[in-house]
Structure 1
Amino acid sequence: MWTRLTSLFKPQPAEPKLAPGVTVYAIGDIHGRADLLEDLLGKIQADAAPENENTLIFVGDYIDRGPHSAAVVERVSALDWPGWTIIRLKGNHEQALLDFLSNPETYQQWRNFGAPETLWSYGVKPPSFSNAASIYEAQEAFRVAFPRHHLAFFMDLKESYSVGGYFFAHAGVRPGIALERQVAGDLLWIRDEFLLSEEDFGKVVVHGHSPSERPIRRSNRIGIDTGAYVTNVLTAVKLSGDAVSFLSASIGQ
Structure 2
Amino acid sequence: MGSPAFDRDVPPSGPAGHRAYVIGDVHGRLDLLENLLARIHSELQRHPAPKTTIIFVGDLIDRGPSSAQVLERLRTYRRAGIETVFLLGNHEEVLLRILEGEGALIANWRTFGGTECLESYGVDPQALRHANHGEALAIVRRAIPKEHVHFLRSFADSCQFGDYLCVHAGIRPGIAIDEQTQADMRWIREPFLLDDSDHGFVVVHGHTITAEVEQRPNRIGIDTGAYRSGVLTALGIEGTERWLLDTRSQAD
Do the two structures share a fold, i.e. TM-score over 0.5?
yes
Question: Structure 1 regions of 5+ residues with no counterpart?
Answer: 1-12
Residue in structure 2 matched with residue 58 of structure 1 by the alignment:
56
Give 1:110-121 correspondences, 5 Å limit. Answer: 110-121=109-120
Q: Higher RCO, 1 or 2 (CA under 8 Å, sep at least 6)?
A: 2
Residue 138 of structure 2 aligns to a residue whose secondary structure is helix
Residues 118 and 143, structure 2, Cα contact 8 Å, conserved in 1: no
- Counterpart residue type for residue 208 of structure 1: G
Give 1:60-75 correspondences, 5 Å limit. Answer: 60-75=58-73
77, 80, 86: which one pairs with 1:79?
77
Residue in structure 1 matched with residue 18 of structure 2 by the alignment:
22
Residue 250 of structure 1 aligns to a residue whose secondary structure is coil
Residue in structure 2 matched with residue 123 of structure 1 by the alignment:
122
Residue in structure 1 matched with residue 41 of structure 2 by the alignment:
45
- Counterpart residue type for residue 124 of structure 2: K
Instruction: Note the alpha carbon deviations across 1:151-192, whole angstroms, 9 max, x for none.
Output: 001111101010100000000000010122211000000001
- Counterpart residue type for residue 174 of structure 2: G
- Counterpart residue type for residue 67 of structure 1: P
- Counterpart residue type for residue 50 of structure 2: N
Residue in structure 2 matched with residue 160 of structure 1 by the alignment:
158
Residue in structure 2 matched with residue 222 of structure 1 by the alignment:
220
Structure 1 residue 113: Cα displacement = 1.8
Structure 1 residue 97: Cα displacement = 0.7
Residues 227 and 233, structure 1, Cα contact 8 Å, conserved in 2: yes
Structure 1 residue 238: Cα displacement = 0.4
**CA separation in 2, counterparts of 1:70 and 1:199?**
39
13, 29, 36: which one pairs with 1:33?
29
Residue in structure 1 matched with residue 6 of structure 2 by the alignment:
none
Structure 1 residue 85: Cα displacement = 1.7
Residues 19 and 49, structure 2, Cα contact 8 Å, conserved in 1: no
Residues 124 and 138, structure 1, Cα contact 8 Å, conserved in 2: no
- Counterpart residue type for residue 21 of structure 1: G
Structure 1 residue 127: Cα displacement = 5.4
Residues 233 and 251, structure 1, Cα contact 8 Å, conserved in 2: no
Residues 20 and 52, structure 2, Cα contact 8 Å, conserved in 1: yes
- Counterpart residue type for residue 111 of structure 1: R
Residue in structure 2 matched with residue 4 of structure 1 by the alignment:
none
Instruction: Note the alpha carbon deviations across 1:109-141, whole angstroms, 9 max, x for none.
Output: 3123211000111011225787452x4323212
Moved more, 116-125 or 76-85: 76-85
Residue in structure 2 matched with residue 90 of structure 1 by the alignment:
88
Residue in structure 2 matched with residue 5 of structure 1 by the alignment:
none
126, 138, 141: which one pairs with 1:140?
138
**CA separation in 1, counterparts of 2:203 and 2:126?**
38
Structure 1 residue 14: Cα displacement = 6.1
Residue 96 of structure 2 aligns to a residue whose secondary structure is helix
Residue in structure 1 matched with residue 3 of structure 2 by the alignment:
none
Residue 114 of structure 1 aligns to a residue whose secondary structure is helix
Aligned residue pairs, count: 239
Q: What TM-score does the superposition give when structure 1 sets the normalisation length?
A: 0.89
RMSD: 1.9
Larger gyration radius, structure 1 or structure 2 = 1
Residue in structure 2 matched with residue 108 of structure 1 by the alignment:
107
Question: Structure 2 regions of 5+ residues with no counterpart?
Answer: 1-8
